[in-house]
């Protein structure tokens, strides 16, 4: 190496060293930009190569070489990242919004795999700031799931009104005769957001007649007719989605007036099952079965928490209903009122129902 080149390298090292020692909020971004993907600072000799890594290479997907432009973040967030401190929830939300804005400049609707690649780069660069860390300090999984979910949810939110940019992924239709075909995944996991095909053997006229019949059933039986109305509600699902997807969207009062059985639990669960291909009851049972013991064990360490000890005292592993115990623990922990989860019927209503059943039984016996 020539003497002149050595002198220039020494001068460059000295300049970078002074810059790193005496930094302020205004030039924190320089330190962030000089960090390697693994979180260690770039040496002065490799600084030019680190800067070049921010530019995409030909023939490679853009997200592989994507780097967040941290200098577009507020100075307070830049200092937080330089100090390797976890940002506050509000600051983290702002970071997610800024990162998504930069991602959407490259791709109007990146896939989850693309977002995962970008998040892995962020986590490897700032593990103490964004990684999923357990109580013992260990990184959970690859440390990306929480930030990945926030970024992907933000992407879907930004594209909620952009039908051209929505990512559609065809799924195999469910097996079985008479089953409604599953559509492309769209709108926060919905698989039948805006169906276009009428049910087999039905026309617009027959579906309108079913809707009129549903109105008559509700006016005669009220919510007691929900079980008989469920098959008709499934048949008229396409009409319901057309009404709900109007712009501007109808109010809740108008929806209940137009489709009264949608306010019944049975028909609402059925509508959600068709919309997302997910059964709420089944998912709740699976969650309680897989997570219930963890919730109970966690609450056992909160015996001094108001109301927790009382719920646990009434819980017997052999006899008690775990689902009810878990719901009561969650209600108590989050300080929700009792009637927010559990509905207690009035005694007068119960007595009235019993009397009606007894009268009907006696009448049947008398007729026979």
Check residues 323 and 30 and name the one with the higher pLDDT: 323
331, 295 Cβ separation under 8 angstroms = no
Express each pLDDT in 141-175 by its tens digit.
888 889 999 999 898 888 877 655 555 544 444 44
**What would the mean pLDDT of 42-70 be, rounded to a whole number?**
58
121 and 232 both lie in a single domain: no
Confidence of residue 190 (pLDDT cuts 50, 70, 90): confident
151 and 71 inside one domain:
yes
Residue of higher predicted confidence among 209 and 363? 209
Is 160 in contact with 187 (CB distance < 8 Å)?
yes
Same structural domain for residues 296 and 250?
A: no
Do 287 and 247 belong to one domain? no
The average pLDDT across 252-257 equals 92
330 shares a domain with 221: no
Render pLDDT for 31-42 as a digit per residue (tens, 0 to 9). Answer: 444 443 333 333
In a domain, 163, yes or no: no
- The answer to the question of residue 167 being in a domain is no
Report whether pLDDT(347) > 90.
no
Asked if the structure places residue 21 within a domain, the reply is: yes
DSSP labels for 330-346? Answer: HHHHTT--GGGT-----
Do residues 128 and 26 share a domain?
A: yes
- Is the pLDDT at 115 greater than 80? The verdict is yes
Task: Tell me the pLDDT band of 355, cut-offs 50, 70 and 90.
Answer: low
User: Which long-range contacts does 113-117 make (Cβ < 8 Å, 24+ apart)?
Assistant: 114/61, 114/63, 115/148, 115/151, 115/152, 115/155, 116/144, 116/148, 117/63, 117/64, 117/66
User: How many domains does the chain contain in total?
Assistant: 3
Structure tokens at 288: 């309680």
* Same-domain status, 13 and 148: yes
Q: Could you say which of 158, 192, 227 is where a domain stops?
A: 158
What pLDDT sits at residue 255? 93
Q: Determine, yes or no, domain membership for 353.
A: no
């Amino acid at each position: 190496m020539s003497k002149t080149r050595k002198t220039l390298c020494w001068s460059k090292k000295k300049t970078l060293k002074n810059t790193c020692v005496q930094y302020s909020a205004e030039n924190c971004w320089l330190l962030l930009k000089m960090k390697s993907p693994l979180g260690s600072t770039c040496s002065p000799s490799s600084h030019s190569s680190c800067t070049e890594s921010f530019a995409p290479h030909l023939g490679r997907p853009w997200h592989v070489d994507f780097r967040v432009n941290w200098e577009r973040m507020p100075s307070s967030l830049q200092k937080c990242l330089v100090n390797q401190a976890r940002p506050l929830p509000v600051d983290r939300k702002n970071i997610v919004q800024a990162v998504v804005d930069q991602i959407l400049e490259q791709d109007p609707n990146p896939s989850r795999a693309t977002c995962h690649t970008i998040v892995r780069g962020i986590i490897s660069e700032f593990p103490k700031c964004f990684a999923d860390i357990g109580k013992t300090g260990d990184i959970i999984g690859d440390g990306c799931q929480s930030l990945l979910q926030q970024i992907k949810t933000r992407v879907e939110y930004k594209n909620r009104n952009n039908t051209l940019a929505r990512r559609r992924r065809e799924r195999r239709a469910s097996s079985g005769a008479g089953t409604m075909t599953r559509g492309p995944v769209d709108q926060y996991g919905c698989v039948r957001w805006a169906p276009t095909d009428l049910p087999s053997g039905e026309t617009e006229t027959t579906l309108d007649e079913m809707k009129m019949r549903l109105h008559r059933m509700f006016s005669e039986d009220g919510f007691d007719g929900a079980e008989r109305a469920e098959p008709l509600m499934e048949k008229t699902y396409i009409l319901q989605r057309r009404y709900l997807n109007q712009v501007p969207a109808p109010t809740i009062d108008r929806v209940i007036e137009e489709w009264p059985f949608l306010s019944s639990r049975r028909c609402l669960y059925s509508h959600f099952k068709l919309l997302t291909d997910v059964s709420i009851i089944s998912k709740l049972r699976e969650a309680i079965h897989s997570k219930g013991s963890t919730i109970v064990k966690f609450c056992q360490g909160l015996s001094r928490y108001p109301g927790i000890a009382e719920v646990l005292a009434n819980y017997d592993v052999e006899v008690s209903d775990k689902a009810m115990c878990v719901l009561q623990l969650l209600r108590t922990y989050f300080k929700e009122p009792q009637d927010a989860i559990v509905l207690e019927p009035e005694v007068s209503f119960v007595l009235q129902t019993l009397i009606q059943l007894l009268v009907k039984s006696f009448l049947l016996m008398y007729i026979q």
